[in-house]
Structures are given as structure tokens and as C-alpha cells.
Structure 1
Amino acid sequence: MNKIYFRYIIYLFVISFTLLIGNQKTCKACNKDLSAQYLIHKGNYYHHTCYDKYIQIYCDQCGKKIDGSYNTSKDKNYHKTCYQQFIQKRCEECSDIISGIYTIHEEKEYHESCYVEYILPKCDVCHQPVEDKYIKDFWGNYYHAYHDKKMPSCDNCNRLICSPLTNGGYSINSNRFVCNLCKPEVINNKFQLRKVLNNVLDILKTVGVVNLPTDLPITLIDSREELIRMSGNRLGNIQGYTNYEESSMAGRIIDQKYHIYILSNLQEEIFKAVLAHELFHVYLFQNKLDLRSDIREGFCNLGSNLIYQHYGSELSKYRIKMMNESMDPDYGIGYKNMKEKLDDIGWKRLLKKLPRF
């Protein structure tokens, strides 16, 4: 009886030992046996130290353990608070967190609303943000393109005539418009003409254009259409015209008469530039120079350029810019060709060679 009991004890021990060895857990990281407390992660078992070393996620900002939910960015992990404080995009304007769609401008990031409100240029006419097509004029004004179709522009400076840009303006025969910035310096009565003529003649003398008549009749014309009709000019932006008549006897010219017509209400520098252009026509008539149209008008535009360079104001710079950008065969391309010759050989030689052009 005792022998049987002893054998039973031995069998029970062997079975218990086998069960214990069969259920022994090992650490997934170091492959060593687990004892006491351990951690389970995704069905695998780990020592606490192995889990902390190989599995535990740490914040790449503060270096501390991450428990619970977290943010990732560019393969790095962050506590939610660390991510919001140090990593998440912030608006360059208001410094608040950017959590949705945003705008990048000059490598800086903005809320869409902040970009529209503070960064987008504002229309100088209506003061609203300019988000679509816009125009930036020579004077630095930004405005929606549609304003250009609804408002008149100044005959002189080409600014849109409105209260914000020019403090208003006035019309001439409802067809031409002058802004209130140019208004104080316009030529609009005959008593101004004598002084203006003498001033222009003095400037032309400095480059060798001399012996021009000093008693030339000058008439101010309000209507551009009337000036076009008188001159027969094909261009709609004509500003001046010189009428020339001569009397001859026995094949000899015994009398020459000139009459210059210029639009009224041109700003003084522009009026003088137009007058210089017409006086160059007089110079050509006096010297019996019948030039090709592009050479003729290009040469006469050198007179306008001379006046603008003499004054050098922002308005004069604007008018020179317009002349340089013109693609008109005579007044634009012809002028630039003559300007190139002038820059190459100077006034004295240009006037001497003019008959051979």
C-alpha cells in the first residue's frame, strides 16, 4: 500500500513539472524567461525593462514616455501637448494653431482668413482684398481689374479718377477727363501760352534746334475728335497738330505759315512735350525735310522726350515709359529707332545727318 502511494506522488510531481515548463513565457525582445510581472503588447510578452527599451514610444520633443494617444509627424512621435506647442503649424500673422486648410505666402504659413484679411493687397479703390485679377498702375495703386472698365482715367497721368486715388476730377465735353491731382497744373487758357512757348524754345536751343518762329499761333482744342478731324491722323490718342501753309512765286517760297493746335487741359509738362513735338515738325518744314513717317514722327518724339528728361518728374518718367512701350510703327518703334541713333551720335550729328535718313 505504501509503495503504491509513493509511486503516485512521483507521477504527480512529474506531471506538474511538465505543465509548469510547458506554460513558461519568454520575453519577445530578449527571449529570456519571464518571471514576476510582465507586459503584454500586441499578443507578445515583455520584461518591463525590455518593453521600455524596445517597444515603449517616447516623445521626440521632450524625450518622455508616451502613454495613450499621440501625434506623428515626419516619422516622429509626440505627446499631443508637445505637438501642439512645438510642432503643429501656426499662423504667421495671429500665431494661433493651423488645423485646417492654410495658405503659404513667401514661405510663410497663414490661416486662409488671416491671409485674406492681412496679407492680400487691398484694393485702393474699394478697400476690399484683391483675390482675383488686379491692376497695379505706375503710381503703385492696386485695384480690381473691373474698376478699370467702370471709371474714367485721367488724360494726363492715367490714374483712375475716383475719390480714393485722385480726390475726384472733372470732364471736358464728357469725353476727356482730368483728375484733381493734375488739375492745378493744366494749361487751359491762352494767357499761359506765351510763357510756355518761350520756355520750350529755350530748352530746344540747348540741343541745337534754333531759329524757330517765336510768334507761332497756338490754339487750345477741347475735343480730341476735332483734333483728329483737323489733322486726318489715324490715331485716336492724338494730342497736337501743326498746320503748315506756304506761298510761292516763280518756284520760290515767299511765305510760310504755321499754326499749332494742342488739346486743352493737359498738365504743363505734358503740354510742353506735345508743343516740343509740334515745334520739331516746324523745324522739318523750315528745312524742307520730307522724311518717311516713322523717321519723321520718331524724330519729333525726341522733342517730347527732351522735355520729359528736362523735368524728370514722376509724371515725366511715366510718359517716357509709355513712349518706350508703344508698339506704334511711327510714334513707338520709329521713336525708339531715332532714340537709339541719338544715343549713338548725339544731337549735333543727328541734326546734320537728318536729311540723309
Structure 2
Amino acid sequence: MNEKLQALRDAGVSIWLDDLSRERIVTGNLAELVETSGVVGVTTNPTIFANALSDGEQYSEQVAQLKADGASVDDAVFELTTSDVQQACDVLRDVFDATDGVDGRVSIEVDPGAANDTDHTVDLAQRLWKRVDRPNLFIKIPATVEGLPAITATIAAGISVNVTLIFSLDRYRGVMEAYLEGLRQAKDGGHDLSTIHSVASFFVSRVDTEIDKRLGDGHPLRGKAAIANARLAYEAYEEVFSGPDFIELEAAGANKQRPLWASTGVKDPAYPDTMYVDELVVDNTVNTMPEKTMKAVADHGEIRGDTVHGTYDDARDVLAALEREGISYDDVVRVLEEEGVEKFDTSWAELRDTVSNELDKA
């Protein structure tokens, strides 16, 4: 194990790979990353699947069979992606068992076209859960206003959820409440709460991208907002999951919903390429990284222990200073959520186009 990645794990951060392909699975690359780089989870999205399908030959046999069976594009997307996730779940099953279900997780996203449709999101989550049929699956549900009741309903059904696309602190509190309400309903429905897990994916780098654009070049607040925002999210997490609402559920076996730092690849080359890892080290969190970022951390990351506790007042000062500069936090997070849903839609369309092309070639 690389010493820097080991130090990250020792500090309580679970390392998840933000990538998946059938080639990684069949060549043993994913298993090797679990063994040598401390990878204990995998996240996916439509763009990741589209890239894997475009670049790899491992799908040709299944694509040909799907075409012979007369599968529609949407059915082919469903079968190809769930097959990969199912196999990845199997690779990570030992991690899942060894951590009592905390890690060893693989996430798959509901069709983002349902982001603003609660009932459709719940139906898709249940369909994915049944198809993959692995206890170490996470269903990714966007944290839109319409997504919140879908999160509650999915948790209430005993299905573990990765809540994605969180930008704002207020929305994050709504996500945590949706999780707690789902646990209450699951308990009333007779589910074993100890088997239900969740992470809340708080997006990081996109916050700096949007705010830096508004600040302009050379401003001293550039590159400060995203880390401040995430640190205050952890403060909110500590408050909620040490509060009376959760303690009562914890006594019944409930698990905390861990914060997950997403979008941790640095977008601005002026910044250190490991900053969204180094500056967000704190216990009981997940950092899901592109392999490029993970390799950078292994090579020259500065893992110096907890870099979150003791920073909350400074983080509030950063957000207050941005407001004084005329940067509206509420407007920034609104724009980011709208763009995030749009990007999900675009990447899903690209995945459908890729699968359609592969079917045509088969």
C-alpha cells in the first residue's frame, strides 16, 4: 500500500474510484487497485459508461446478443451498465463483508431524466436494485427538490442510496432529513436498519469553477469557496448525526449517512492537483477520485491528518467575504444544480448514442 494513500485511510477517509469499465474488471485492474491502492468503492455515471463502451472490446459479445434479442437502446443501456456494476460489486464483496457494509460499495445512477419526477425516480431505483441484486449496491439519486422524497421512499424500502449532486448547505440539510425520515419509515416497515447505508455526495471543484469565474483573475478569494463550503457541510453532518433525531434511530441500528467528497479532480491547473483531497481529510468520509487524482495523491499528496476540524469559523468568513464581493451563494448553488442536472441529461444522451452506435455496428 502506498504510504500516502494509507495515511488517508488511517485518517478515516475511504478511497473510492470514480471510474469503471469492463476492461478494469476482466483484466483484474480493479482488484489490483483494491489490493495495492486501498480502493474500497466505485462510483459510476453515464459518461464513464459511454467512454468504457467506446474504448473497449469487452462489450462486443453482449452487444451482439442484445442486438440479436431485439433489445431497444434503453434496454441495452440498462443491461450493459447493470452487468458491469454487478461484476464490480462481486470484486468488492470481500471489502463489503470486512467493513460490515460500510465500504465495498458500487454506485449506479438512475436515469437523470427522472431528476424532477419523484415517482419515476423511485421506480427506477427499485428496478436497478432488483436487477443488480447485490447488497453492496448504491443507487445514485440526485438531490433535487423532487429527489428528496424519492430518497426517503427508497431508503424506506430498505435500499441503500448515494445521494448525488449536492452543492448547497441548505439542500444538504434537506438530504439528511430525507435520509432520517426514510429510516423512520423503514423502521416502521420492519426493515433491519443496520443493513441500510447511505452517502451524501457533496460536489467540490465545480463550486470553485463557478465562483472563480465570477471573481475574475487574481482575486485573493479564488480557490477558497469549494473547500470552505465542504468543511461547513461536515459541520452540519456532525450536528445532525449527533442530535436526538439520529440518536434514537442509531439505538435501533441505524448508520450515519457519510459525507462523500465528489468532483475532487482539480479543474484549474493553477491549483495543486491534490488540493480537494489534502484539504478535506476528516474521519468517516469518502473521497471519490478519478484515477489521475488518486495517482497524484499517491505521488505527492500532503496528507497531514485532520484538515477540517478547527476550520469552521474561517470557512464562514470565506463565504461572508464572497457575499461582500457581490457573489450570491444562493445564486451560485442554484446555477450549479441546474447545470448539474443538464450535464447529467447530456451525458445520458451521449451514453444512449454510444450504445445505439454499438448496436448498429454489431
User: Could you tell me the TM-score, scaled by structure 2's length?
Assistant: 0.23
Higher strand share: 1
User: Could you tell me the TM-score, scaled by structure 1's length?
Assistant: 0.23
